[in-house]
Amino acid sequence: MITKNEIDRIIIIGIFVSILIGLLVTLYFILAIREPFSVLYIKPDSYSNYIVNNTVSFIYGVRCLEGKKTRYAAEIFLGDILIGNNTFEMDGGEKEWVVSADLPADIDTRLPVKVKVVLRGPTNVYDVHFWLKGRK
């Protein structure tokens, strides 16, 4: 016959084994499974929402957290019009690019207009934007 002390000991051992298994599974998901990704951003103090000297300029950056050498294609749009592109490879780390482009003559008829950067990586597409609201 099993005594109360033996049952208590079995329950305590079961609890410790369950906690240990839970910790091992958690560590596996934290350490072994890392989903690769990239970060695309526009530096907040690098642009103005208003047109100055009929140009648009800003700085965008990419942080590569893919875990391997990665090829990217970046496209810069003014509304639906492609105004620039850039193809590059990164093996981790972070890079920034300065963009400066002359605006079309009829830009005032399209304001406000979205300035957008689209980054295509091996598995995902990222985009960031800001708005040109008018002239300063």
Give the pLDDT confidence score for residue 12 in this predicted structure.
Answer: 94
Query: What percent of the chain shows pLDDT beyond 70?
Result: 100
Query: Are 25 and 84 in the same domain?
Result: no
pLDDT band of 35, cuts 50, 70, 90: confident
pTM over 0.95: no
Query: Are 42 and 26 in the same domain?
Result: no
Give the pLDDT confidence score for residue 2 in this predicted structure.
Answer: 78
Give the pLDDT confidence score for residue 104 in this predicted structure.
Answer: 86
Query: Are 112 and 77 in the same domain?
Result: yes
Query: Are 85 and 27 in the same domain?
Result: no
pLDDT at residue 130 above 90?
yes
Query: Are 96 and 118 in the same domain?
Result: yes
Give per-residue burial for 53-88: e unless 16+ CB within 10 Å, then b.
Answer: eeebebbbbbebebeeebebebbbbbeeeebeeeee
Query: Are 51 and 110 in the same domain?
Result: yes
Q: Which domain range does residue 14 map to?
A: 1-33
Query: Are 50 and 74 in the same domain?
Result: yes
Please tell me the total count of domains within the chain.
2
Question: Does 4 or 125 have the greater pLDDT score?
Answer: 125
φ/ψ of residue 14, rounded to 5: -60, -40
Query: Are 42 and 23 in the same domain?
Result: no
Query: Are 76 and 27 in the same domain?
Result: no
What tens digit of pLDDT does each residue of 37-90 get?
Answer: 899 999 999 999 999 888 899 999 999 988 889 999 999 999 999 999 999 999
Query: Are 8 and 51 in the same domain?
Result: no
